[in-house]
Amino acid sequence: MTLILSEEQELLKDSAKSFVDDQWQLNQLRANRASPKTGTIDTGLWQQMVELGWAAIPFPEEFGGLGLGYAELGIVMEESGRKLLISPLLSSVVLSGSTIELAGNNDQKAEHLPKICDGSGLYAMAYQETSRHEPENVHAALTKSEGGYQLNGHKQLVINGGSANHLVVVCRSSGDAGDRDGLSLVLVDSKAAGVSIANNLLLDSTPSANITFRDVTISPEDILGEIGNAAEVLDEVYARAAIALSADMLGGIQSAFDMTLEYLKVREQFGAKIGTFQGLKHRAGRWFCEVELSRAIVLKALRSIDSGSGDLARVSSACKARCTATYQLSGKEGIQMHGGIGVTDEHDIGLYFKRARVTEILLGDASFHTDQFATASNY
Amino acid sequence: MSDLETFRQEARSWLKENCPASCQGDDNILPDILWGGRRQKIDEPDVQLWMDRLVAQGWTIPGWPKEYGGGGLSAEESKVLAEEMSAIKTHSPLYSFGISMLGPALLEYATEEQKREHLPKIASGEIRWCQGYSEPSSGSDLASLQCKAVKDGDDYVVTGQKVWTSTADVSDWIFCLVRTDPDAPKHEGISFLLIDMESEGVTARPIVLLSGASPFCETFFDGVRVPVANRIFEENKGWSVAKALLLHERTMLAGGPGRAPVSDERRTLLEVARDSMNAPTGPLPDKAVRAEIAQTEMDQMCYAATLQKVQDAAKAGKGMGPEGSMFKLYLSELGQRSADLRQRLNGADGLIWEGDEFHPEAKETTREWLYSRASTILGGTSEIQLNIITKRVLGLPE
């Protein structure tokens, strides 16, 4: 495992960077707030990303994928995160795609993965039920009914839930909330009877949904993996997602840092560039160290997915915890060092501060991951 | 067979013939580090034999040119040799400031004659070196140093005081920064001198730290005559040599390439915590301490990844530049945090300075914790590292 980019990866990075710079403006985030289609995504932009092959990166070629890995997917996630681009990369490709790839049978993979890869299907994953990320705290009930199953429950923070035509739902087929046993995975058509979707716009303009399932009929073909036994697959899915999200966060972290560093070099007060003041300079130096540490652990974590590391739980938690802390630092220091302009809606730095909070809560904050790291280390 | 494979075979058979059985394997009798020097005594005949053979082969510093006592190996060959040594669990125990700091600076700045005089004695461990940089009034502002060297015929006459001269009381020679032009701007009046510690007028005295006895000394020069031939590089251009050497020092302090292996047979942080909470298995009962330990371990994982990334970049032909400051800054602070936690977890035992009845590790842990406060000061304070990072890496204005 080497923690530097190969030549091919550098090329991918360059092309991803130009695409994002050409096709996406940070202003889009402001425009989204006023959009009547609150809570949905720009499918035109996503189709272009799909055409570049981004949605197909981590999947096997036999299912329409490019047969690459998370090292590559992480590159496009970092580049889109750099400009806070809104896309279904996390919800459709990483969360839903990984779940189907890891839990699905051959027929299910053959039906759904090509749709994710070619963009003809948009997938979202409904897993969270409470205010915190608690993977086993699942109440949504999967019960037997005539000829199949029924799903009842309520989910929140379903990223891109309002745009998705397929939902991957984490539910419980036995046991009580908090149990590891009894977790199941089902695929639900978002237009199915009994599915009601309430769209929300998150504070960073990410579309999210709360979804209620009332007596939704689930056919046996739409159960992913062994019923009641989804915990291990979910461990892997959440670890991958936390790492991929960290790559997106890294892009934002780097941007906020670069933007602020530039400001320190041009802004003048007391007749001097403010970057000459040690009170700011040394904080920038410490911030830089945090950015470098975050970059290294993201590179390592992405490659740990690809190599099938047995230490993925610890690595992913170290990665998400570190990036969460660094993104928080970046948002706060970014605003503080920009001074008054930093707290206006007009300046971009505040957009990074907002994204930092959303990505912090998604898939577990630093405290969750510190706890998970300790648990995975057997203490 | 590739050249490298041929070399591997040669190295393997050389080791087989030359490395005494007692100096390899899990129970080998080799010390982690032998610092060399005239005062060094090796009691074990096998260790002496192994050292003699390594020196004859030039493999105490395999990467230096043969004419200076090295092995003349390429970076790849040195790596192969290290792999072969590690495969039979042996190593070259010689390690010193001569190897890690002075040697690389001499290779870059010394005359041919100076290299031939000094480098082989570093490689053989005959001479142990110490560093004379800081002065009582010149700490972070190193370039303001006042220890003066006045030319008198073929000699300089050196008068002044150096401080934090690690191991000066047991070293043979000292490399020193001295002021040769008091009227020039501070960076432009400094020269780099090599001084024999046995010269008339040199005195070294150990310094006692918070942690007790320490390797640090203060060293006094009272009209010491030093041949002009012992000056490295041009007169008044010593700051260039000093800077190059400081870079090597930071690399060393950051645990970069070339660091000798140090074994740590103490309990892990977690084991200390388990003992202190009487919780041999299961989740640690004190959740806040549990989180602190996890944080420390996650930080260590991130640091290791950062170090690996830079080493991978170096292998791909991109060297480590001022980023060395970042490693020194982060590693020293991480070490402090972890030494602090470890000492705290020793609780009541950790408070005992001397006594009969306490955990055998507590005494050492407490001294290490006190000593760790020095790690963010020596080799350039954290604040100086931040000055370097923000100037050289971030390009912030001064």
Superfamily name with CATH number, domain B264-393: Butyryl-CoA Dehydrogenase, subunit A, domain 3 (1.20.140.10)
Q: Which residue has the higher pLDDT, B324 or A110?
A: A110
> Do A135 and A263 have their domain in common?
no
Interface predicted TM-score (ipTM) of this complex, two decimals: 0.94
Contacts of B138 (CB under 8 A, 6+ apart): B144, B145, B146
Q: How confident is the model at residue B258 (pLDDT cuts 50, 70, 90)?
A: very low
Same domain? A171 vs A269: no
Q: In chain B, which residues touch A (CB < 8 A)? A: 270, 273-274, 283-284, 290-291, 293-295, 297-298, 301-303, 305-306, 308-309, 312-313, 315-316, 323, 326, 329-330, 383, 385-387, 389-390, 393-398
Q: How many Cβ atoms sit within 10 Å of the Cβ of residue A309? A: 17
DSSP of A165-231: SEEEEEEESSS-TT-STTEEEEEEETTSTTEEEEEEE-TTS-EEEEEEEEEEEE-GGGEESSTTB-H
Q: Which one, of B310, B155, B172, B165, lies nearest residue B230 by Cα?
A: B155
- Number of neighbouring beta carbons within 10 Å of residue B140: 12
B52: tokens are 């003699």
For range B63-82, the mean pLDDT: 93
CA distances (Å), A294 to each of A301, A352, B44, in order?
10, 16, 47
Overall average pLDDT of the B3-9 stretch: 94
**Nearest chain B residue to A283, by CA:** B386
β-pairing verdict for A166-172 and A123-126:
parallel
* Residue B267: DSSP 8-state: P
Instruction: Output DSSP code: residue B150.
Output: E
Pick the closest to residue A165 from A91, A230, A60, A235 (CA basis): A91
Q: What are phi and psi of A101, to 5 degrees?
A: -65, -40
Assess A296–B contact: CB distance below 8 Å, yes or no.
yes
Closest CA–CA distance from residue A276 to any residue of chain B (Å)? 5
Looking at the structure, tell me whether residues A327 and A212 fall in a common domain: no
Which of A286, A290, A298, A367 to substitute to test the interface with B, most B CBs within 10 Å? Answer: A286
Q: Which of A229, A264, A286 is the last residue of a domain?
A: A229
Q: How far apart are CA B179 and CA B223, in angstroms?
A: 14
Tell me, yes or no, whether A256 and A147 share the same domain.
no
Tokens of A48: 């272009």
Chain B interface test: which of A270, A297, A307, A314 (most B C-beta within 10 Å):
A297
Q: How far apart are CA A78 and CA A17, in angstroms?
A: 9
- Displacement of CA A92 from its chain's centroid (Å): 10
Backbone φ, ψ for residue B381 (5° rounding): -60, 165
Residue B114 clears pLDDT 50, i.e. is over it? yes
For residue B386, the chain A residues in CB contact (below 8 A) are: 281-282, 285-286
CB of A17 within 8 Å of any CB in chain B?
no
Question: CA A24 to CA A14: how far, in whole Å?
Answer: 15
Rounded Cα distance between A159 and A277, Å, is 42
One-letter amino acid for residue A148 of the chain: G
Tens-digit pLDDT string for chain A (379 aa): 899 999 999 999 999 999 999 999 999 999 888 776 666 788 899 999 999 999 999 999 999 999 999 999 999 999 999 999 999 999 999 999 999 999 999 999 999 999 999 999 999 999 999 999 999 999 999 999 988 999 999 999 999 999 999 999 999 999 999 999 999 999 999 999 999 999 999 999 999 999 999 999 999 999 999 999 999 999 999 999 999 999 999 999 999 999 999 999 999 999 999 999 999 999 999 999 999 999 999 999 999 999 999 999 999 999 999 999 999 999 999 999 999 999 999 999 999 999 999 999 999 999 999 999 999 999 9
- Helices A70-82 and A231-266: crossing angle, nearest 10°? 40
Q: What is the DSSP string of A116-171?
A: HHHSSS-EEEE---SSS--TT----EEEEETTEEEEEEEEEEEETTTT-SEEEEEE
Phi/psi of residue A123, each to 5°? -115, 145
Which residue has better confidence, A179 or B261?
A179
CATH number of the domain that residue A241 is part of: 1.20.140.10
- In this structure, the answer to whether residues A59 and A146 fall within a common structural domain is no
Domain with residue A38: its CATH number is 1.10.540.10
The reply to whether A239 and A348 lie within a common domain is yes
List pLDDT tens digits, range B130-154: 999 999 999 999 999 999 999 999 9
Distances (CA, A) of A369 to A245, A324, B386: 14, 10, 30
A45 touches A23 (CB < 8 A): yes
- pLDDT at B327 (0 to 100): 87
pLDDT at B254: 63
For chain B, domain boundaries: 3-94, 129-238, 264-393
Domain that holds residue A157: 125-229
- Please tell me whether residues A143 and A199 are part of one structural domain: yes
pLDDT of residue B263: 53
Q: Are B282 and A374 in contact (CB under 8 A)?
A: no
Domain end call among A229, A255, A281: A229
Q: Is the pLDDT of residue B322 over 70?
A: no
Residue of A nearest to B282 (CA): A379
- What would the pLDDT profile of B102-111 be if each residue is shown by its tens digit? 999 999 999 9
- Min Cα separation B283/chain A (Å): 4
- Cα(A333)–Cα(A330) distance, integer angstroms: 5
DSSP B223: E
A182/A318 same-domain check: no
Can you give the pLDDT at residue B318? 73
pLDDT band at B1; cut points 50, 70, 90: low
What is the rounded average pLDDT for all residues in chain B? 92
Decide which of 1.20.1600.10, 2.40.40.20, 2.40.110.10, 3.20.20.110 is the CATH code for B129-238.
2.40.110.10
Match 């020793």 to its residue by tokens: B346
* Count of the separate structural domains present in chain A: 3
Confidence band of B2 (pLDDT split at 50, 70, 90): confident
Please give the Cα distance from A346 to B148 (Å, whole number). Answer: 59
CA distances from A88 to A28, A102, A161, B97 (A): 16, 19, 10, 55
Q: Which of B284, B306, B396 sits opposite A379 (nearest CB)?
A: B284
Contact B42, B34 (CB under 8 A): yes
Q: Do A318 and B383 touch (CB under 8 A)?
A: no
Q: Are residues A185 and A240 part of one domain?
A: no
pLDDT at B259 over 70: no
Here the CATH number for the domain that contains residue A162 is 2.40.110.10
Q: What is the token pair recorded at B209? A: 């730290």
Domain end residue (candidates: A88, A122, A156): A122
Q: What is the pTM of this model?
A: 0.89
Instruction: Answer whether A289 touches B (CB < 8 Å).
Output: yes
User: Which DSSP category does B100 fall into?
Assistant: I
Is residue A379 within 8 Å of residue B270, measured between CB atoms? Answer: yes
Mean pLDDT calculated for residue range B308-335: 82
A2 within domain boundaries: no
Same domain, A70 and A15: yes
pLDDT tops 80 at residue B341: yes
* A1 is a domain residue: no
- Our CA-based measurement puts residue B254 at a distance from the nearest CA of chain A, in whole angstroms, of 14
pLDDT, position B324? 67
Cα–Cα–Cα angle for B1, B6, B8, rounded to 5 degrees: 125
Residues A25 and A10: their CA atoms lie apart, in Å, by 23
| Chain segment A85-131, per-residue pLDDT in tens | 999 999 999 999 999 999 999 999 999 999 999 999 999 999 999 99
Chain A residues inside the 8 Å CB shell of B313: 4
Asked if pLDDT for residue B257 goes beyond 70, the answer is no
Question: CA distances (Å), B308 to each of A3, A215, B84, in order?
Answer: 7, 53, 21
Instruction: Please say whether the beta carbons of A282 and B287 come within 8 A.
Output: no
Q: What's the DSSP call for residue B58?
A: T
Contact B396 A275 (CB under 8 A): yes
A149 shares its domain with A281: no
Task: Answer for the pair B138, B145: CB distance below 8 angstroms, yes or no.
Answer: yes
Q: What is the mean pLDDT of chain A?
A: 96
User: Strand A123-126 vs strand A272-273: parallel, antiparallel, or unpaired?
Assistant: unpaired
Dump pLDDT digits (tens) for B355-379: 888 888 998 899 999 999 999 998 8
Q: What are phi and psi of B59, to 5 degrees?
A: -100, 10
Catalytic site positions of B: 249
Q: What's residue B260's pLDDT?
A: 39
Q: Which residues contact A104 (CB under 8 A, 6 or more apart)?
A: A112, A224, A225
Q: Same domain, yes or no, for A360 and A257? A: yes
Q: Are A180 and A136 spatial neighbours (Cβ–Cβ below 8 Å)? A: yes
> Chain B partners of A371 at a C-beta cutoff of 8 Å?
291, 294
